[in-house]
């Protein structure tokens, strides 16, 4: 894969170890493969059941040993991995505690990743004028604040009062509680209408009628979404298995639009391709688990009395993460449908 330009290899501080990282091209290939991973994990689960060997548990234990101990200890612990039950760790290693997952607009504002400035620059650069931008389904203003640096006025709307209560304030941002299908903006007033990580919740025919009403002739309409996150390293397999296999039953039906990068979302406007963008964050374990508490799948799991699925995952991931405060690179691919009304 190095020869194909998908990964690059560097040497770590330990001369016995090499660090392999995805290139930009490799990230694109990984993004394209993610919708197919559910079938892969189902096949692995079937193999584990057939041979009665916890393959993933043994692998995770070996990774934990290699990351935490010196070389001699790594060898000794790795030899004992197959004797330990899945999800357990060596004595003295940090273990997770309960209470990772809480609800509320404050948690959403603190834990959701923010968009790269390049996204707002790209949106603004597509507009003939920059007087008014509408950020529909704005949440707590993750994109609104970036747009405020490019437009005279931003009207940011959401149906959740709790989200708006925790929105970031700017002099030229006006937050309103209203539905995407019934905007209060004046007709022919908006230069940009954007919905970020929200359009899959809308009644799209009604929303599109409103976009045609409030947009100026030739106004830009954009539906942006960041997809399934992935970790750059061996922990990614565990994250993907949890997302595609263990939480699948709790995601609402519209989630597949996020997973496919809005490619199947109806978009009846003249449009053009958008360049590849990514959100990159270096997070510790608490930040990642805090982000996962904002998933709609988590809230639905709570409603179903299945909180323990997330708690168990938090414990297992913490056991193999590394030092409690250590950072891991997490990436979300951004997809966008963009055109003119």
For 131-149, how does the pLDDT look when each residue is reduced to its tens digit (9 = 90+)? 999 999 999 999 999 999 9
β-strands 328-340, 230-231 pairing: antiparallel
Q: Are 163 and 140 in contact (CB under 8 A)?
A: yes
Phi-psi region of 305 (alpha: psi -120 to 50; beta: other; left: phi over 0): left
3-state SS assignment for residue 191: strand
pLDDT at 284 (0 to 100) = 95
Is it the case that residue 307 has pLDDT exceeding 70? yes
pLDDT at 11 (0 to 100) = 57
Q: List the chain domain ranges.
A: 104-231+244-282+334-341
pLDDT at 232 (0 to 100) = 86
pLDDT at 203 (0 to 100) = 96
Neighbours of 97 (CB within 10 A): 10
Question: Whats the size of the chain, residue-wise?
Answer: 341
pLDDT at 115 (0 to 100) = 96
Confidence tier at 55 by pLDDT (50, 70, 90)? low
- Residue 271 tokens read as 């449009």
DSSP codes joined into one string, 50-119: HHT--HHHHHHHHHHHHHHS-HHHHHHHHHHGGGSPTT---TTS----S-----SHHHHHHHSPPPPHHH
Is it the case that residue 211 has pLDDT exceeding 60? yes
- pLDDT tens for each residue of 154-167: 999 999 999 999 99
Q: Out of 57-71, 216-230, 291-305, which region has the weakest mean confidence (pLDDT)?
A: 57-71
Is it the case that residue 63 has pLDDT exceeding 60? no
* 332 backbone dihedrals φ, ψ, rounded to 5°: -120, 125
The arithmetic mean of pLDDT across residues 292-308, rounded, is 94
Could you tell me the pTM of the whole model? 0.69
Is it the case that residue 35 has pLDDT exceeding 70? no
DSSP codes joined into one string, 104-162: SHHHHHHHSPPPPHHHHHHHHHT-S--SEEEEET-TTTTTHHHHTTTSSEEEEEES-HH
Is it the case that residue 261 has pLDDT exceeding 50? yes
3-state SS assignment for residue 4: coil
- What does the alpha-carbon distance between residue 144 and residue 123 come to, in Å, rounded to a whole number? 12
Residue in 245, 192, 188 with CA at minimum distance from that of residue 219: 192
pLDDT, greater one: 225 or 78: 225
Confidence tier at 39 by pLDDT (50, 70, 90)? low
Confidence tier at 80 by pLDDT (50, 70, 90)? very low
* CATH 3.40.50.150, applies to 104-231+244-282+334-341: yes
Q: For the chain, give the mean pLDDT.
A: 82
- pLDDT tens for each residue of 115-126: 999 999 999 999
The arithmetic mean of pLDDT across residues 167-195, rounded, is 98
Q: Out of 55-69, 143-157, 162-176, 265-279, which region has the weakest mean confidence (pLDDT)?
A: 55-69
pLDDT at 337 (0 to 100) = 97
- What does the alpha-carbon distance between residue 57 and residue 321 come to, in Å, rounded to a whole number? 14
Is it the case that residue 180 has pLDDT exceeding 60? yes
Is it the case that residue 258 has pLDDT exceeding 80? yes
The arithmetic mean of pLDDT across residues 263-289, rounded, is 95
Q: Out of 48-57, 221-230, 285-294, which region has the weakest mean confidence (pLDDT)?
A: 48-57
- Residue 198 tokens read as 């929200």
Residue in 4, 57, 10 with CA at minimum distance from that of residue 232: 10
- What does the alpha-carbon distance between residue 324 and residue 262 come to, in Å, rounded to a whole number? 36
- Residue 216 tokens read as 């100026």
pLDDT at 309 (0 to 100) = 96
| Sign of the four-CA dihedral 94, 99, 102, 106 | negative
Residue in 188, 238, 245, 183 with CA at minimum distance from that of residue 210: 183
The most confident of 9-18, 26-35, 326-335, by mean pLDDT? 326-335
Share above pLDDT 90 across residues of the chain, in percent, rounded to a whole number: 64
pLDDT at 87 (0 to 100) = 33
């Amino acid at each position: 894969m190095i020869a194909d330009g998908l990964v690059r290899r560097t040497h770590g501080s330990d001369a016995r170890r090499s660090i392999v990282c995805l290139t930009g091209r490799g990230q694109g290939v990984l993004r394209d493969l993610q919708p197919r991973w559910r079938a892969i994990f189902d096949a692995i689960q079937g193999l584990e059941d057939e041979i009665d060997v916890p393959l993933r548990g043994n692998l995770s234990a070996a990774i934990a040993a290699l990351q935490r101990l010196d070389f001699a200890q790594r060898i000794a612990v790795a030899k004992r991995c197959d004797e330990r039950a899945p999800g357990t760790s060596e004595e003295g290693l940090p273990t997770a505690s309960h209470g990772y997952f809480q609800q509320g607009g404050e948690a959403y504002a603190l834990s959701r990743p923010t968009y790269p400035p390049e996204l707002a620059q790209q949106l603004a650069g597509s507009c003939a004028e920059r007087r008014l931008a509408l950020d529909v389904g704005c949440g707590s203003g993750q994109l609104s604040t970036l747009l405020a640096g490019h437009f005279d006025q931003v009207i940011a709307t959401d149906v959740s009062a709790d989200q708006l209560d925790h929105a970031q304030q700017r002099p030229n941002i006006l937050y309103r509680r209203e539905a995407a299908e019934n905007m209060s903006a004046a007709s022919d007033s908006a230069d940009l209408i954007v919905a970020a990580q929200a359009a899959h919740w809308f009644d799209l025919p009604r929303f599109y009628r409103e976009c045609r009403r409030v947009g100026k002739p030739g106004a830009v309409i954009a539906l942006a979404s960041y997809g399934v996150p992935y970790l750059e390293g061996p922990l990614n397999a565990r994250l993907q298995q949890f997302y595609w296999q263990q939480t699948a039953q709790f995601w609402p039906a519209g989630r597949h639009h996020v997973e496919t990068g809005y490619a199947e979302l109806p978009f009846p406007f003249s449009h053009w391709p958008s360049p590849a963008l990514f959100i990159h964050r270096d997070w510790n374990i608490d930040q990642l688990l805090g982000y996962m508490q904002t998933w709609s799948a988590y809230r639905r799991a709570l409603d179903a009395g299945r909180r323990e699925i997330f708690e168990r995952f938090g414990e297992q991931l913490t056991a193999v993460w590394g030092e409690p405060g250590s950072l891991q690179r997490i990436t979300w691919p951004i997809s966008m449908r963009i055109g003119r009304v």
